[in-house]
Structure 1
Amino acid sequence: MTSNEKKCPNCGHIFKPGETYCPNCDLFVPFDEQKNLSNDTITNSNEPASYKNDTPSEPSPSIPTFKHRNRTSVEETPATEEEIVEKQSEMEEATEKPIIEEHSEIETISPVEVETFEEIDEPVEEQPQTRVTDSSTPPSNESPKKNNKSKILVGIIVLLIVFGGGYVYNSQKKQNELETTLKLTTSAEDAIQNLYMKNQGEVFLKKGISQSDITSAEDKVKELKGTEQYDKLNERMQQVVKTFTRLTAINEAFKKPVIEGNQLINDAYVKDDTKLTLEAIDPEENGFDKLYNEAIKDATEQKAAIKTFKTTLEKLYRDDKVVSEPSKQVYNDAVKQLADIKDPELKAEFQKILDDVSKVIDEQEKKAEAARKEEEEKQAAAEKNTQQSQNNNNTNTAQNGSSFTPSTNGGRWGTRQDATIDLSDPAWAWNPGVQEKVISEVIKRGYVVDGGYTLVPKFIENGVGFYDLYATKNSKLFPNSKPEEFPIYVVTINDKTGWFKGNGPN
């Protein structure tokens, strides 16, 4: 190579006469080192010279300097087939990076147009110049390799920045999601724990728990739906709901809560107007199940006591008033059954009704007693009159004409008995109407009841027959006698006059 040869510093191309730029690179233009003028610009005979050097100069050096040619657009120069293959290879290597595989969800980046900037090897002052080209050598249209490589490199860098930023963004997003899940999990666990009594495990719900507490905890658990933690937390939440449902049901059966925390309230009383349909838990799995079953047992016993009393009370009190003739015995049974009722308020209410019944019974007994006394007085007067009449008619008299009172031979009435009873003796014949009158009277007095008595002939004295009257069933006089105690002696009766006498004060 001679000293006058001009060589492209980029690719080594030796400029031919008339070439003002490298046909391979299309980037460099030779300039005179001293005067910054093109050294190999040849004035075409058909074109005017770009400039005229009027000043004599020294011979130029053998190696010229070069300056980057300005390009209007890199995209306008088509690339060679070799450059296209090289570009595709480099792009395939870039797409095989793991970072791109990990973040395939990032949108495809549109191609980035990269402009190359003008570079000057040495700062020189540019002079106006006219480019003279050889008409026989047209400018090359091939795309410069260095420019294409620069564009590809810049594109790859941009992709790495974008995908790298996406990776960082995605990692940060996952970290944020994990932190959010952790916070939600902690919040849900705390919400479930707060539904139970402290230091008791997940067995007894806290005192005063409400539906709003349950709903709030459920909402916190639902926020974790779709995560790994949801199933376990939801299972625990459903157990809370199950326990709360049972707790609510048993507490609503009482006038105030019967179960509070881990305690069974002894002074809780069952509602009288509520049907008890709850069933015991079998088998019992924990302490709450045991309390629940004890509460159901208590409620059942209270309901049974109330029902038994009401059944008895209906015999004494109907249609908001005392029946016309309440039984003293039924009243006594009701008083005993009232003692089995635990609820003091309900017991006081029933006691008022029994007090009304008692007043009616007392009034009835007073009236009955007054009537009995009146009747006894009438009977006594009638007996006296009858006795006098019998005495006047020599009835019930001795043979010497003196009146008499039957003798008991020193014993109690009802103990005298003749050795032989001859029913054909006229002494055993009742005077007309006497027997009916006596029986009606003793029934009225309550000594015997209709169909609950018997008459037994016992002895004859002074031609008069005397019968003993026996009770065979309970009566007012014998209300509590047992069946094996009957028959029971009542009075001795004169079958001629109707006079009768017994061992009682009357």
Structure 2
Amino acid sequence: MSNYPKEEKEKQEKKNDTAKSPDYQSEKQNDDINWSDLKDLSLGEVMEQLDKFTDSSHTDAMDEQASDSMEESVEKLFEDNPILATYLRGHKEGTQVEALKKIEELVKEKETAEKVTDSPTSLDDDPKDAIIMSNEDAEEYQEELQAEETIVEPDEEADEETTNEDASEPTLPTVEVESDSQQVEAAETAELEAPAESTVEETVVNQTAVAKNEQPIAEHQVSEPETERTRQSLQKKKHPKRKWYALAAVLAVGITGGAYYNHVQAVAQAEREQEAKEKAQLASIASEVTELFTDDQQQLLKDTTTATQISNLDNRLSLLKKVAGYKDIKQVLADAQEKLTQVEALNEKFTSPILVNGEIQTDAHVKNVDTATFSKLTGNSTFEETYNKAVTVAEKEIANAKSVMANVTHLTDQLSNGTVAATVNQTSYDDVKKQLTTLYDEDLKAKLQTQITPVQTALTKRAAAEKTAREKVAAEQAAQEQAAKQKAAEEQAAQTQATLLAKIAANTTYSESTQILSTNTATNKENRPIIDSRKSDLANSSSSAWNWGAGMYDFVINRAIAKGYIVQNGFYLERVRIENGEGYYNLYAMNNESSLMKTISAKALPMYIATINAKTGYFKGNGSN
């Protein structure tokens, strides 16, 4: 609150009388300012509006005011204006919201104080006492201040504008009435250029600089007549209290405009951030939806895709209904859920999933093939074609199962009382049994196998009886054939034996002289024995001289076989003579089956081997040994 001297009080009373005149009241009414209209304007435009409402005719009331110095005026201005001081302190400390509330409280306190002190005051009071103006006087002071601020010499106004331009860069952007799109564009541009808070702060600093240049009016005493120079100087000064109200109004407009600007920026930024966040969320969901499929066309589901995954994605997507692309992803999820339901229902009918990652599995087969049913999808999409291929696999298995069951029925119908019809044989049974191996339904396979087992039993029984009969006939035939062969062999052997014996007899020489078998007995090369036979000895067939000495027979025969001269049953012993009570025998090979006789032709048989002493086992032939 400012203190005025007595002279100022007298001048104030004169001004009050003037203000009560009709002309002044009319002018005062035209001077009313609607401060709410200034909230969207920049500080510079607010000052221009204040200048428009100022009337130069009221500047004479300020002629007696003077300023001691710029520094004293500024200090006095801050000292007498707690509102301005509160705003600057709050802006400096970063507590603009709290400062704004404090300013409102100070204004209310100011108005209350003015009402209380509005009672008559004696002009004889001490000049130092405070002079409280009525609300009407305050309005008049405010109007006069506005008028005085517009009266500036051209050169000084230009200098002041230049000073303001230098001191106020950068300034708060002018807030103009624009369309919605223009406001958003301006807000985005201002956000990119500089933060709103710093702009408001710089504007207040600039306004303070202007106040310094404008030389606020300090309290003074009017003691002498004023010179023309003093009058012109005083016309350029500003009334402190009116300056106080104008500055408070400017600050209020600046704060309101800055707050509104900050609010617009915050809302726009929040909307952009929310939009970006929602777009990112939608992109994330779209990426996860893509991962549900094996192909880029989003036709074939992965085997890891579950209904829970799709449901969770759908729940998250429901929060983004206003984001572009929502409907497309929603449709893809709906299609995915439908496909998953179809695939799961299809796979459930197989022993293992038939569709895995969009591919047909060859090891999957129809369960309950005798009762299962399948239907193909209409359409020609990749999913529908793949699904229908799986159905085709199932239909083939079902058709094959029905064919096998029909053949089993036909086979079992020919079984009666454990006996099968003559038209049924092992081959027909084996064919049906082989068809059972083409079935993948193990339960059905076991059932059909049980049905055809009695047929196999009957066939086995019949086959056994038939085999017994065949074997009997074969045995009889074999016996007959063997007997015939034996007889023929015997006859052949007898004939051969007779022939060989005849040849031996024809090749035998006889001599009654003594011929002792020894190492000195001479040999020959005509395949003849080395000892001649004696007929008289041959005639004495019962003589004991013909008996073999103990073990001599086996010794000689085994030795001849071992050396490869003869084979068992392939030799012949011929009696030769008796010398000194010892009988001699000639040994002949009757065939060429022995190892040494293989090179001998059948015509050369019988082959003379050696002459043997039956008692001693000594033998010698035509060989070197």
The structure richer in helix per residue is 2
**Structure label with greater radius of gyration:** 2
Q: Please give the TM-score of this superposition, normalised by the length of structure 1.
A: 0.45
